[in-house]
Amino acid sequence: MKRLFLRVSCLLAVCAGAGQSQTLSPHWGELTANDFVKALAQSGGTCALPFGIVEKHGPSGPLATDLIDVRYATELATKQSYTIIFPEYYFGQIFEARHQPGTIAYSTKLQLELLQETVSEMARNGCKKVIIISGHGGNTNLIQFFAQTQLDTPKDYLVYAITGGGGGNGAAPNPAAAPSKPGVDGHAGEGEISNVMASRPELAHPERAGEESGKDQKRLDLPQGVYTGIWWYASFPNHYQGDAAGANAARGKAMAEAKANQIAAAIRAIKSDTMGPRLQKEFFEAAGHPTDTKQ
Ligand SMILES: [Zn+2]
């Protein structure tokens, strides 16, 4: 009898859990305070911070292209593996587009301070695994540097970052996600504008793609391995790389699904990661008295 009772409760618990996953929004700002607590339990203490930017996206894309695209892929991913999505965040590195209308470029100091305070506030609210999902190539170094700075003082949370592409789920690439021809992808090119068309087609203007050049102007002549911050402006002064003329919603949908699969695989792996938190705790303890570390 007791066994039967347990089984019934278990079934009910599963049903309640399944119901929850259908009704709880993944969006932080759409949850009530009470539902936020339930959402945290459902997300296993993970929260996503899709990191966009506001910058020119050639002649075809809206200023928030990267923010729209990364939030859409993240939202799709939460249907596979639930997590809480932090509100719109676009306070990143974009100095190289300051000469273009509509760009919002915060100071270096503020970028780091705001990211730290945002992550700290997420953690204080129970997000013990913060997943930063980069939607903008110009933020890659910032995000990786920020993740490294997490080791400066003890933390009770872990920052994970998804900054690269990568298939992630091992599935064969969908031919619908392939570019129409070589050289069309790049900043504000066919891929990015197709992605916008997957979720917000009314904001994309591929018919304007030819109004500016997205070709590499190759104005710098430096040997390989020499880096300078002006390299991007030297190559792509229109803040446009590639050609968005062939952008279409079908390609955007296929790309967004592939990205969502990659993000979902990462969320699943991060949820089950016990080694990262354990090693970080061990590291902070050892860093407090390095002379005791075995040599
Ligand atoms: Zn972009």
Q: Is the pLDDT of residue 183 over 90?
A: yes
What per-residue confidence (pLDDT) applies to 27? Answer: 98
Q: Which CATH number fits domain 25-272: 3.40.50.620, 2.40.50.100, 3.40.50.10310, 3.40.640.10?
A: 3.40.50.10310
Q: How far is the CA of 228 from the centre of ligand 1 (A)?
A: 21
Q: How far is the CA of 61 from the centre of ligand 1 (A)?
A: 9
Q: Is the pLDDT of residue 223 over 50?
A: yes
Q: Tell me the pLDDT band of 23, cut-offs 50, 70 and 90.
A: confident
The whole-number average pLDDT for the span 229-237 is: 98
What per-residue confidence (pLDDT) applies to 173? Answer: 76
Q: Is the pLDDT of residue 13 over 60?
A: no
Q: How far is the CA of 288 from the centre of ligand 1 (A)?
A: 41
Q: How far is the CA of 197 from the centre of ligand 1 (A)?
A: 13
High-pLDDT (> 90) share of the chain, %: 88
The whole-number average pLDDT for the span 4-16 is: 40
* Mean pLDDT computed over every residue of the chain: 92
Amino acid identity for residue 276 in this structure: G
Q: Is the pLDDT of residue 257 over 90?
A: yes
What per-residue confidence (pLDDT) applies to 20? Answer: 46
Instruction: Say what the pTM is.
Output: 0.91
Q: How far is the CA of 255 from the centre of ligand 1 (A)?
A: 14
Could you state, in order of their start, the residue ranges of all structural domains in the chain?
A: 25-272
The whole-number average pLDDT for the span 10-22 is: 43
